[in-house]
């Protein structure tokens, strides 16, 4: 007998105390498991509450919350370049994307990334960039399956539990919601 779950991803403009508590729990679970955040040790509810409240205050950052049966179990952030970076205004960054280990296997990670991509394209961005530690093999598999192109590897990207870990850099060209697609050949000089 299979159970049907309700999956959703919402762009958060505010979080109530219950949502924040669930999100902090999910975040610490993901950190403990080794994925999705720059932290390598769990931070606890107080530190994570400050973090997420701060994220909601940054104009160039949008927070997306993944929910399983209405309960927050993961998040991602869309970072837009500052207004004074006109040359790179066509691109944005996907960062801090994760799903708590206890909520995986339902397709939420793919839905979360898809919603961030859709929002970035709607805002006029034509490229979405991201980076990920080499140890996060599940995330790497997901991003590559979703059409992200690895363009580089940094051999000393992070330190995790005393070990130096490589990191990979990816990009994906986004389809515009209106207007013309980005011609990568024109920007790289390649045919």
Query: Which CATH number fits the domain 7-180, given the four candidates 3.40.630.30, 3.40.718.10, 3.90.550.10, 3.40.50.300?
Result: 3.40.630.30
**Rg of the chain in Å (alpha carbons):** 17
Residue 166 reports pLDDT greater than 80: yes
**0.85 exceeded by pTM:** yes
- In 3D space, the residue among 74, 29, 77 whose CA is nearest the CA of residue 57 turns out to be 77
- DSSP state letter for 14: -
How many other CB atoms are found less than 10 A from the CB of residue 48?
A: 22
- State the chain's mean pLDDT as an integer: 90
Question: Which comes out higher in pLDDT, residue 176 or 186?
Answer: 176
Report the Cα 68 to chain-centroid distance in Å.
Answer: 17
Q: Write down the pLDDT at residue 130.
A: 97
């Amino acid at each position: 007998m299979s159970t049907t779950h309700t999956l959703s991803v919402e762009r958060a403009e505010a979080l109530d105390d219950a949502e924040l508590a669930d999100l902090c729990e999910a975040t610490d679970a993901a950190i403990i498991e080794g994925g999705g955040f720059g932290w390598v040790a769990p931070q606890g509810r107080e530190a994570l509450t400050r973090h997420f409240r701060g994220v909601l205050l940054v104009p160039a950052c949008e927070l997306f919350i993944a929910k399983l049966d209405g309960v927050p179990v993961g998040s991602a952030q869309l970072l837009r370049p500052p207004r004074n970076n006109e040359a790179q205004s066509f691109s944005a960054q996907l960062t801090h994307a994760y799903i708590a280990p206890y909520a995986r296997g339902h397709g939420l990670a793919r839905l979360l990334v898809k919603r961030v991509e859709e929002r970035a394209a709607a805002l006029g961005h034509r490229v979405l960039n991201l980076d990920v530690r080499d140890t996060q093999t599940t995330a790497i598999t997901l991003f590559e399956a979703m059409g992200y192109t690895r363009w580089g590897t940094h051999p000393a990207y992070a330190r995790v539990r005393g070990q130096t870990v490589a990191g990979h850099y990816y990009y994906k060209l986004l389809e515009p919601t209106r207007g013309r697609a980005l011609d990568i050949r024109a920007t790289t000089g390649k045919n």
